[in-house]
């Protein structure tokens, strides 16, 4: 196995490492890790979100996958929105997030993971989601930092 894995929960790292050990590539490991993160690290990882993935292929080409969330095209007056900040304490740092109905959008994550897998993955999506599905069925004890 070639590669390195870092994650906020040992089970997320374990999933990615197992994908690499079984012959998957870095993109397979990232997709599998993401789905496991949704189960083991749900504070900032969810199927209801969006994101970006910057990929560098073996040939040196770089690609950006943009699967961020989409908001309505019609802009509403700010006073009519349910949109307000909350501060999340991560221990050594704090970060403001905005929540409420005005923060809702159409998720892009699932579509993005399929796009990454279709373009750069070498394993079947079912195999990449399986570790997360098993963990979700069994349940996962959150670690001290997350609690």
Residue range 100-140, pLDDT digits in tens = 888 888 899 999 999 999 999 999 999 999 999 999 999 99
| Confidence (pLDDT) at 3 | 83
Q: Is the C-alpha dihedral spanning 39, 43, 46, 52 positive or negative?
A: negative
Looking at the whole model, is its pTM more than 0.85? no
- The helix (run of H) or strand (run of E) holding residue 86 is strand 84-89
User: What are residue 119's phi and psi, to 5 degrees?
Assistant: -80, -40
| Confidence (pLDDT) at 1 | 64
Given pLDDT bands bounded at 50, 70 and 90, which one contains residue 74?
Answer: confident
CA–CA distance, 103 with 76 (Å, rounded to integer): 12
- For the chain, the domains span 1-70+106-147, 73-104
Across residues 74-103, what is the average pLDDT?
A: 86
Given pLDDT bands bounded at 50, 70 and 90, which one contains residue 32?
Answer: very high
What secondary structure letter does DSSP report for 103? G
CA–CA distance, 19 with 123 (Å, rounded to integer): 9
| Confidence (pLDDT) at 108 | 94
Asked if 69 contacts 108 with a C-beta cutoff of 8 angstroms, the reply is: yes
Asked if 19 contacts 128 with a C-beta cutoff of 8 angstroms, the reply is: yes
């Amino acid at each position: 196995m070639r590669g390195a894995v870092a994650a906020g929960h040992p089970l997320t790292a374990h999933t990615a490492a197992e994908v690499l050990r079984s012959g998957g590539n870095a993109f397979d490991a990232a997709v599998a890790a993401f789905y496991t993160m949704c189960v083991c690290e749900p504070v900032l990882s969810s199927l209801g979100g969006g994101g970006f993935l910057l990929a560098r292929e073996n040939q040196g080409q770089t690609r950006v996958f943009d699967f961020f969330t989409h908001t309505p095209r019609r802009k509403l007056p700010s006073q009519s929105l349910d949109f307000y900040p909350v501060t999340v304490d991560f221990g050594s740092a704090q970060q403001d997030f905005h929540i409420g109905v005005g923060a809702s959008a159409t998720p892009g994550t699932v579509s993005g993971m399929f796009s990454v897998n279709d373009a750069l993955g070498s394993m079947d999506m079912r195999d990449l989601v399986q570790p997360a599905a098993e963990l979700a069925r069994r349940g996962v004890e959150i670690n001290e930092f997350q609690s």
